[in-house]
Amino acid sequence: MNGKMWPLTQLTTLTLISSFVGGGLLQGCAQPRYETNPDRGELGMPAAQSERATDCPLKLTNTRLCVSWHWEQRPSSSQSGSIVFKVYRGNVLDDTPVLVDSSRTADLLLWMPSMGHGSTPTQVQRLDVGTYRASNVFFIMPGDWELRFQFKEADQVADEATAQVRI
Ligand SMILES: [Cu+2]
The vertex-65 CA angle with 63 and 71, nearest 5°, equals 130
Note the pLDDT tens digit of each residue in 89-141.
999 999 999 999 999 999 999 999 999 999 999 999 999 999 999 999 999 99
CA of 111 to the centre of ligand 1 (A): 9
DSSP per position, 10-38? HHHHHHHHHHHHHHHH-TT-SS---SBPS
CA of 150 to the centre of ligand 1 (A): 21
Q: Which among 166, 159, 41 is positioned nearest to 102, based on CA atoms?
A: 159
Note the pLDDT tens digit of each residue in 40-97.
444 444 444 556 777 898 999 999 999 999 999 999 999 999 999 999 999 999 999 9
Fold of domain 66-166:
Immunoglobulin-like (2.60.40)
Confidence of residue 18 (pLDDT cuts 50, 70, 90): very low
CA of 112 to the centre of ligand 1 (A): 6
Question: Is 60 in contact with 151 (CB distance < 8 Å)?
Answer: yes
CA of 27 to the centre of ligand 1 (A): 53
Ranges of each domain in the chain: 2-48, 66-166
Stretch among 29-38, 94-103, 142-151 having the lowest mean pLDDT: 29-38
* The pLDDT of residue 39 is above 70: no
C-beta neighbour count of 1 within 10 angstroms: 5
